[in-house]
Structure 1
Amino acid sequence: MARVTLRNLSAHKIRLVLTAVAVILGVAFVAGTLVFTDTMNKKFDDLFNRIGKNVAVDVRAVKVVDSGDPGSARPPLPQSVLAKVRTVPGVKDPVGTVDGYAALVGKDGKIVGKGQNGPPQLGTNWTGDGIARMVAGRAPAAAGEVVLDKESASKAGYAVGDPVTVLVKAGPQKVTLVGTADIGDMMGTTLVAFDTPTAQRLLMKPGYFSEIRMGTTGPDEAALRDRVAKVLPSGTEAVTGAKLRDENKSSVASFLGFFRTFLLVFALISIFVGAFIIFNTFSMLVAQRTRELALLRAIGAARSQVTRAVIGEAVAVGFVGSTLGLAAGAGLAELLQSTTGGGGALTFTATPVIWSYVVGIVVTVVSAYFPARRAAKVPPVAAMRDDVALPQRSMRIRMALGSLLTLAGAGLMGLGLFGHVSNPAVPVGAGAFAVFLGVALLAPVISRPAVQVLGWPFARLLRTPGRLARQNALRNPRRTAATASALMIGLALITAVNVLGSSMRSSVESQVDKQFGADYVIEPTGAGGLSSDLVAKVRATGGVTDAGAMYSGDAKVSGKRVRYAAGDTPQMLSGTRAKFVSGSGTLGRDGMLVDEDTAKKNSLSVGSSVPVLFPDGRTETLRVSGVYAKNEFLGSRILSQSAYLAHTADPSVEVIIVTAHKADAATKHALEQTLSARPDVKVQDQAGLKADARKQVDGFVTFLTVLLVMSVIIAAVGVINTLALSVIERTREIGLLRAIGISRRQLRRMIRAESVVIAVFGAVLGIGIGVAFGAALQHALRKEGLNVLSVPVGTLVTYLVVAAVIGVLAALWPAWRAGRMDVLKAISTD
């Protein structure tokens, strides 16, 4: 039977290559994701090992209020701690580090890097023992001198000795480049290093450090940590270098783990779609070889041998597809690495290799199993019949199972979206998967009326070719449904993403219309925030009536971390059109405002006392002064500006809210002139806020859509495969049609029309399910601010047209092949 398997593989090369494409694309996605994340893990491990190479103990402030971000800044350490650490026996070369935001401005006036969503723009003090290694010039020794990483200096067009502009929170700094350093592959990070006093003044606070690191003259890390801990003041801690490195690696591993899972979900979607194609292909191959399989049975082949022969073909296809997919995955990983700003060699481990072959071969074999079983059931006597065909099962079981799965999936989705479960993603994901399977099982039943309707225009416009195309699509509803279901899955998810994105855009625009009462807002585009000094400059700008700062901070209330806003309260409330349910917006030093949802959840009312723990370790009891209606711009809590400043060592303005005499082009131009030295700051009016929100949502939707396009490509390959096999299956029929007078052109039209009907049927199913999924998600997220349902009808119509185009393109090769058939040979085909 091994020879039979090899002969069949050789005889059906083109068909099996097309099937392998589905495996290749799915495995490439899996392999690329695993190789890329392994490479990133290795790079970060190397980076953190270099950072902590000579660190035996690290001294830092205790995180009283954990923001949930492992990389978030801790409260600063006073310089006096460094003096105490120096007295501890066994401590070697203790050094205080200063970390903050510093953006490099290139000669073209633009910031090197990509702002908030790009690589870090790191400002620090030059210590000489960190990740940076001097390659040209010298270390900064006084105010007005900096060292840059060599990659950023090159991008900005600077050389040692050039005047350089660096942006920090306080504003632009005119400095001189005195040296460049090699920081290795940090994926686009910009490094700006000052001397220590300058770094403290510009990035943090004079006399303070971010942390203090030291080596050891002999004691092991744990013993030295214990010695250092004895001299530390309250609110500080000492950890070993090993723990510091592990924490850094763990935080990155956590992010990369989420990113890997995120990408693998889309890879599995592609593989799931590919399973439909593989199943369809092997079902058709088995059907076309029914007589051949019966002959094998007649000459003594057992059922198990016939099954193994078909499974052997599946294993071969899976192996070849996995091998090519692994190679393609390496290319995809290289592409992903280049988009993150990184470079260098990829890291290959056994994990992507093992999973590539496991996924590729297992999915192919499982998909081919049922066709293989049907092949084994062909009776030997069938070899003596000319019209032998595999028996078709009743659709009753299929309908019952499909209906049950669809209803169960809808129930699980409802539980996840509207029920009280700890992890709603699990029932929602399981429910969506069940719905897809249920609809796929019901698709053959749905296909009959749907194809009748969708094929009607072709029957009217193309006449005989159109009628034949409709009948061909109806002839085998299971095959039509399996082909259409592959396209359905990808388009359903793309549609759901677009409905969600459109709803997000509409919801944000609605919130801006209802809650944005200021004339302008000024925001930083980088991660460093703004200085409060800038508020006075904005307020002094011509045409401006008033300007107020808005800050945000973290605190603990009842043991839970909460986010709050603070700043110029009257300007904040008027600029966001805040509406009070009770109390007023008048805040004293110990006042607090809460939104009505927070008040209900925590049983708060005007006059209630709330103990609040701040990041500096101090607790204050604040009094609720007012309860306001939910406001997306203000958040859930507002504290007084004085309370925020009293507990924040390094305050940063997040937004400046501006009121003008007249919100016109002249006023906006005046504000932009005031801020002309700050390319990291943007001025926005209501229209600008909406456009910015649309841009962000569109970017997110486009990103997800691109990831899902892989599944649509696989589905298109499936349409090609089905039509190609269908043409071979109908060779004699096509010959007869040509013999009775149908032209090659009409034959090609027939196959194209059949392809378009199948593709559009899949698109209609997918778009319908996608709209339902998107609407359900929007409804579930109403309390999160997604309060407007918007269905992008124009976009969905475009997808329908694209599906029809996919049908036309998929039919090109099968139609060309059918048109080239020799009539006499086709008629004589068995």
Structure 2
Amino acid sequence: MLRLALKSVRHNPKRLILTAVAVALGVALVSSVFTFTNSLSKGFGDLFSTIYSTVDVVVEPDPHANLDPNSKEGLFTTANVATISALPGVKLAEGGVAYESGSLLNAAGDAPLGQGAPTLLYNWTGNSDLDRATLIDGRAPVADNEVVVDVDTFKKLGIQLGGVAKLASDTGVQDLTVVGTIRFGQNNDLQTASLLYANENTVRAIGGGLTNYSTIAVLTADGVSPATVVKEITPTLPKDTRAITAEDKAKEQSASLNNILKYVNIFALVFGLVSLFVGAYIIVNTFRIIVTQRTREFGLLRAIGAHGKQIRTMILLEAAVVGLIASTLGILLGWLLALGLAALVESFSGNILGAITLPLNGVLLGYGLGLAITIVSALLPAIHASNISPMEALREAGTAGKKSLTVRNIVGGAMAVAGIASVFIGLYVNVPKAWIWVAIGAVLVVLGVTLLAAQVLVPMAFGLRGILSRLWGVNGTLAANNIRREPRRSANTAAALMIGVMLLALVATFTASFKDTFTSQFKTTSADLFVIPTSGPIPQGALDAISGTEGVANVVRMGQTKATFDGVDYGVTYVDAAHASELYDFRTDRPLSKLDGGVFIDPTIQALGIKVGDQVTIKGLAGTETLTVTGLYTNKGDQAFLVDWPQGTALVSEPVVVQALVGFKDGANADTTTTAVKDALATNFPLVEPQSPASLTKLFNQGIDTFLGFISAMLGAALIIAILGVANTLLLSVTERTREIGLLRAVGIKRSAVWGMITLESVVMALFGTILGIILGVGLGAALVHSLSSYGIDRPVVPWALIGVYTVLSLIAGVVAAIWPAYRASRLDILKAIAADG
């Protein structure tokens, strides 16, 4: 059976080429992302190894402790450093001070240097092992406001030693004198980051008054293992801190990055599975047609003693061979795509990647997915082939009978009804996480409609026959009849396209609705400017500069933190409540000026039985507040508690402004005042960018459109596979109908008419799949939006213009998919076609 399967694939490769391409595309999508994330992991893994290669033990805050990330007070004192230094296993210990929220500016001082890479500022100890850096040129930073800069950043600055570098920080723009250059590790591989060192006073001042030490780096004595020193250090440490070997720290950071990249891989895997799921329709159609075409061959095998199981095994082996070849092509194609993606990324971000090599998990997953989808998809045609009796096959009666659609319709109907019921529950029954019910229902509806499509396609083709006949004569009649006589095949082909279009329409509907919800907030806002930082929080000095600008009436600050209520962590927003509701609709049941030192609660807290007038005790990172509930916040899923600025700052050690609203005075010219605000910020706070509601809306729309374009590109593989499916079905159908086409040509049908007939079949199937896809996509997208209404999404919005584009493109795809099959059909030799067995 294996030899027969290999011969069958070798002697008839054309009928399986498009099937292999479909599988290869799905595998390539997964393989490329796994390869790229593996390279990214290697790049940063090498960085982490370099960072911790010269120290033995790191003493740091415990990452699992509930600490305020914005605190300027380090957990380690000089006494802690002295205690650790005195331990017998310790050779040297130095405290570290770091500021990582600033950004080096370009020579003009008005924009960040580079493409958003971080700027890291640390205190210089003079020990190359502890600093992880070696002085190359110049001298070490000794006086205040002196720095040394890594060699790559020094080149970007375009200055000489003794020149000035500008660093934008929380306290403004600092002029720093560059007195030397350093190399990080052996090759200065910083993954595009900028690395600076200064004395302790400079780092503390730029950080806005940093106290104590944030870390302690330790070198062990000769012959003493880092693990032993960790055990010595641990009992001496203050609360919420820990000691860890440098080797374990590097592994921990690599594991943390890999955990993030895991979700990127899952994201890619979802799109890969969608593509392969669409490809499954092609495989089913391909093997079903192949089985029909080889009925006599199977009959001869059965007549000479082959069992049904052997026939089934042979077909599955053919599928496995196709899957193996396709997976190999897909993995290699994925590697090439990863190379291209890496080159594109590094052209913008610099060298942040490791070697582009195929990861073992990507290879195994690629082969596993490719083989699984081909074998599973070929299973039903294989079973059908094994059940054909020898005599029926030899009489070619095996092709005459058409299997009833009854079972298919029953299963499809049941799934569709169950799906609709699940969607209904998610929309109209008060259940937790309603969107999950809608999502499950959507999957069931799609599967149900896929099975029912064969039943719908028959009357649709019958109804279209009259229209097609009037418009295209006999070509239209033949096209409609060909679709009707093979409803399963036609439905599967249309369903593949339906799924791709459905996903595009669903994503487009959801993003359009999200965009409408966001942008509608700016249509009713009274704020003239929104202040959003490009890096880190908004410095208070920047807000003071805005407040002092002529024409500005109010500046409302907004900050966020987390706090514990009833043993559970929740988000807390704190605002300048007096004028907040004048500038923005916070979706509260009364103005925020009515907070009166209390708290507004969202539906999550209300569901716990808390109501207006009750008291709640909230434990923050730095303090605990008992507040009276004075109002309700109507959005669910944003922030559980909304409080005034004084109450919010009592919960945190260092209040952080994440956004600010600016209102102009009555009669102030908007353009003039906006320019004045920007001028006031340009010198000392160039990273703070005030935006008008209109410009912010434009930026948001661009971001959403980019996201939609990215998702559409990811779904492009599924659509390409669906189009290949249309072409594959028609191509194999032409082979199956060789004699019929020959007879048509013999009675006078021209080549152009044959071409037109095949093209009409393709366009009708594409149109059918597109219409079903749009109906499902828009309907399910609107249902998903409704299920998320409690999270602030107002209403479903259908992007009809984009839907129209999808429809036109699908029709064009139908025409394109028919080109090769139509050409093959029109070029058949009449006499050979009439004499053919098929």
TM score, norm. by length of structure 2: 0.89
Counterpart of 1:536, as a letter, is D
1:685 is aligned, of 689, 692, 702, to 692
Deviation at 1:782, TM superposition (A): 0.7
Deviation at 1:158, TM superposition (A): 5.6
1:266 is aligned, of 271, 284, 287, to 271
Query: Quick one: structure 1 residues 822 and 278, their matched pair in 2 at CA, closer, same or farther if it must change by over 3 Å?
Result: same
Contact kept, 8 Å, 1:57 with 1:215, in 2: the verdict is no
Query: Quick one: structure 1 residues 3 and 646, their matched pair in 2 at CA, closer, same or farther if it must change by over 3 Å?
Result: closer
Deviation at 1:287, TM superposition (A): 1.0
Deviation at 1:670, TM superposition (A): 1.9
1:534 is aligned, of 536, 542, 558, to 542
CA distance in structure 1 between the aligned counterparts of 2:19 and 2:414, rounded to whole angstroms: 30
2:491 is aligned, of 481, 494, 508, to 481
Tell me which residue corresponds to 2:112.
111
Contact kept, 8 Å, 2:559 with 2:657, in 1: the verdict is yes
Aligned residues: 818
Secondary structure (helix, strand or coil) at the match of 2:501 reads: helix
Tell me which residue corresponds to 1:22.
22
User: Where in structure 2 are the equivalents of 1:279-678 lying within 5 Å?
Assistant: 279-338=284-343, 339=345, 341=349, 342-382=352-392, 384-385=394-395, 389=399, 391-412=401-422, 431-453=441-463, 457-514=467-524, 516-526=525-535, 528-578=536-586, 581=589, 585=593, 591-597=597-603, 600-604=606-610, 608-616=614-622, 619-624=623-628, 626-630=630-634, 635-645=639-649, 648-661=652-665, 662=668, 664-677=670-683, 678=685
CA distance in structure 1 between the aligned counterparts of 2:588 and 2:34, rounded to whole angstroms: 51
Contact kept, 8 Å, 2:435 with 2:787, in 1: the verdict is no
Counterpart of 2:100, as a letter, is G
Deviation at 1:276, TM superposition (A): 1.0
Counterpart of 2:755, as a letter, is R
Deviations 1:496-537 (A, max 9, x none): 1111101101111233334x32121111122x1221111121
CA distance in structure 1 between the aligned counterparts of 2:228 and 2:736, rounded to whole angstroms: 79
1:277 and 2:302 aligned: no
Contact kept, 8 Å, 2:413 with 2:448, in 1: the verdict is yes
CA distance in structure 2 between the aligned counterparts of 1:362 and 1:476, rounded to whole angstroms: 27
Deviation at 1:153, TM superposition (A): 4.7
Query: Quick one: structure 1 residues 136 and 343, their matched pair in 2 at CA, closer, same or farther if it must change by over 3 Å?
Result: farther
Contact kept, 8 Å, 1:165 with 1:175, in 2: the verdict is yes
CA distance in structure 2 between the aligned counterparts of 1:538 and 1:152, rounded to whole angstroms: 32
Secondary structure (helix, strand or coil) at the match of 1:173 reads: strand
Counterpart of 2:81, as a letter, is L
User: Where in structure 2 are the equivalents of 1:179-328 lying within 5 Å?
Assistant: 179-182=181-184, 185=189, 187-203=191-207, 205-217=209-221, 220-221=225-226, 223-234=228-239, 236-241=241-246, 244-328=249-333
Counterpart of 1:513, as a letter, is K
Deviations 1:5-64 (A, max 9, x none): 333223322221111001111111222233333333333433333333324241326765
- Tell me which moved more, 575-584 or 329-338: 575-584
Deviation at 1:400, TM superposition (A): 0.6
Deviations 1:321-350 (A, max 9, x none): 111111112123334444374333124443
- Tell me which moved more, 752-761 or 241-250: 241-250
Counterpart of 1:345, as a letter, is A
CA distance in structure 2 between the aligned counterparts of 1:413 and 1:213, rounded to whole angstroms: 57
Contact kept, 8 Å, 2:324 with 2:371, in 1: the verdict is yes
Deviation at 1:367, TM superposition (A): 1.1
Counterpart of 1:561, as a letter, is D
User: Where in structure 2 are the equivalents of 1:749-764 lying within 5 Å?
Assistant: 749-764=756-771
1:696 and 2:700 aligned: no
Contact kept, 8 Å, 1:523 with 1:681, in 2: the verdict is yes
Counterpart of 1:601, as a letter, is A
CA distance in structure 2 between the aligned counterparts of 1:529 and 1:325, rounded to whole angstroms: 45
Any unmatched runs of 5+ in structure 2? none
Contact kept, 8 Å, 2:506 with 2:781, in 1: the verdict is yes
Tell me which residue corresponds to 2:809.
802
Any unmatched runs of 5+ in structure 1? none
Counterpart of 2:547, as a letter, is R
Secondary structure (helix, strand or coil) at the match of 1:76 reads: coil
Query: Quick one: structure 1 residues 120 and 269, their matched pair in 2 at CA, closer, same or farther if it must change by over 3 Å?
Result: farther
Q: What is the CA RMSD across the aligned residues, in angstroms?
A: 3.2
Counterpart of 2:803, as a letter, is L
Query: Quick one: structure 1 residues 821 and 655, their matched pair in 2 at CA, closer, same or farther if it must change by over 3 Å?
Result: same
Deviations 1:384-411 (A, max 9, x none): 5367515321111111111122233444
Deviations 1:749-795 (A, max 9, x none): 22111111111111111111112221221111111111211111111
CA distance in structure 2 between the aligned counterparts of 1:150 and 1:412, rounded to whole angstroms: 61
1:38 and 2:48 aligned: no
Tell me which residue corresponds to 2:47.
47
CA distance in structure 1 between the aligned counterparts of 2:367 and 2:213, rounded to whole angstroms: 51
